[in-house]
Structure 1
Amino acid sequence: MFSKPTTKPSSAAARPDALEPPKKAIACSLIAENVRVEGDLASDGDVQLDGALRGDLKVNHLSVGETGQVEGSIVAESVEIRGRVTGAISARSVRLLATARVDGDIIHDQLAIEAGAHFAGRSLKGPPVAEQLSLPIAAE
């Protein structure tokens, strides 16, 4: 008479996140070899930079191609550099490939430098940069 019902809640009602739509994958942004950008760039996705950027970058993952050039600071989860960077880099994971030329300090959790890469600056083992990465792109 006063007992609880024996039916189990549906699986959708049991999971609070079930009403949220699945997250849409964000495509990688490409700045082509023939493009020059003056100003800051922010993205909560991945960026492939084959052109030139004069300004600061705040992205999830940055890949600087062999023809890519950055003059400014970089804040990211991970960075892979084949081209030229003049400025500070702050990322959890930094990888300098053989064709990389970096002039500036690198704050990192993990750093890999291939033979042939040029690096002039300080390597500083630092705290995670997650706090710096809050990128409310859509809200701006």
Structure 2
Amino acid sequence: MFSKKPDEYSPSETRPVARPTAGGSTFSVIGSDVVIRGDIEATADLHIDGRVEGDIKCASLVQGDGSQIDGAITAETARVGGAVSGSITARELVVLRTAKINGDVHYDALTIEQGAEVEGRFAHRTPSRATAAPLASPKPSDDSEPKLTLAS
């Protein structure tokens, strides 16, 4: 009568729950003890705590502090906190203070926390570049001016 569905937990439980998002997809977690050699393409949102040796293309990416990505990242939104050796292309990009990026960064909106390390070039994506490398479902921007936010 008052039973829980198998994928639902009470708020007091601390383990994460994979629930469908508005698009019907869920998120996938790559744990800290996992090494993937090869490209990853997903419609789901990804949370990476392990090591990936290959390119990543997904809707949304969250990279944990201790993780390593050796390859290009293409995502609608990305929150980078670990080491990345490769280019990053994202509509909305947040570079956390723990991030160490070695590669070029292409963005529509960018936030960088103080202390982040980036060895590469930053380039605001123009409409011609955006069509050359489309993301999963690009949204039109309300303003053609580049957006840069410095977080403290």
Partner Cα distance (2:109, 2:95) in 1: 11
TM-score, structure 2 length as denominator?
Answer: 0.69
Say if 1:91 and 1:24 are closer, same or farther in 2 by CA, change over 3 A: closer
Residue 32, structure 1, aligned to residue 31, structure 2: yes
Q: Which amino acid aligns with 1:110?
A: A
Q: How far did residue 134 of structure 1 move?
A: 4.5
SS at match of 1:133: coil
Give the aligned partner of residue 58 of structure 1: 57
1:1-140 alignment runs, 5 A limit: 25-127=24-126, 129=130, 132-134=134-136
Say if 1:89 and 1:117 are closer, same or farther in 2 by CA, change over 3 A: same
4+ aligned runs moved over 2 Å, structure 1: 127-135
Partner Cα distance (1:90, 1:133) in 2: 9
Q: How far did residue 133 of structure 1 move?
A: 2.7
Q: How far did residue 24 of structure 1 move?
A: 6.3
Higher Cα Rg, which structure: 1
Partner Cα distance (1:97, 1:64) in 2: 10
Give aligned-pair identity as a percent.
35
Q: How far did residue 61 of structure 1 move?
A: 0.4
Please list every run of 5 or more consecutive structure 1 residues that lacks an aligned counterpart in the other structure. Answer: 1-22, 136-140
How many residue pairs are counted as aligned between the two chains? 113
Partner Cα distance (1:62, 1:35) in 2: 16
SS at match of 1:116: coil
Partner Cα distance (1:24, 1:97) in 2: 27
CA RMSD of aligned residues (A): 1.8
Q: How far did residue 26 of structure 1 move?
A: 1.5
Please list every run of 5 or more consecutive structure 2 residues that lacks an aligned counterpart in the other structure. Answer: 1-21, 138-152
Q: Deviations over 1:51-100 (max 9, x none)?
A: 00000000000011011110000111011011110000011011111101
Higher fraction of helix: 1
